[in-house]
Amino acid sequence: GIQVEQSPPDLILQEGANSTLRCNFSDSVNNLQWFHQNPWGQLINLFYIPSGTKQNGRLSATTVATERYSLLYISSSQTTDSGVYFCAVERSGGGADGLTFGKGTHLIIQP
Partner 1 sequence: EADIYQTPRYLVIGTGKKITLECSQTMGHDKMYWYQQDPGMELHLIHYSYGVNSTEKGDLSSESTVSRIRTEHFPLTLESARPSHTSQYLCASSEYRSGAGGYTFGSGTRLTVV
Which parts of the chain are beta strand (E)? 4-7, 10-14, 19-25, 29-37, 43-48, 52-56, 59-64, 69-74, 83-91, 100-101, 105-110
Residue 55 found at the interface with partner 1 (CB under 8 A): no
Instruction: Say if CB 86 and CB 46 are below 8 A apart.
Output: no
* Among candidate residues 86, 84, 51, the one with its CA nearest the CA of residue 69: 51
Residue 105 found at the interface with partner 1 (CB under 8 A): no
Residue 35 found at the interface with partner 1 (CB under 8 A): yes
Q: Which stretch binds partner 1 (CB under 8 A): 12-20, 28-36, 54-62, 72-80?
A: 28-36
Residue 42 found at the interface with partner 1 (CB under 8 A): yes
Residue 77 found at the interface with partner 1 (CB under 8 A): no
Provide the binding-site residues for partner 1, judged by CB under 8 A.
1, 30-31, 33, 35, 40-43, 45, 48, 50, 84, 86, 88, 90, 92-104, 106
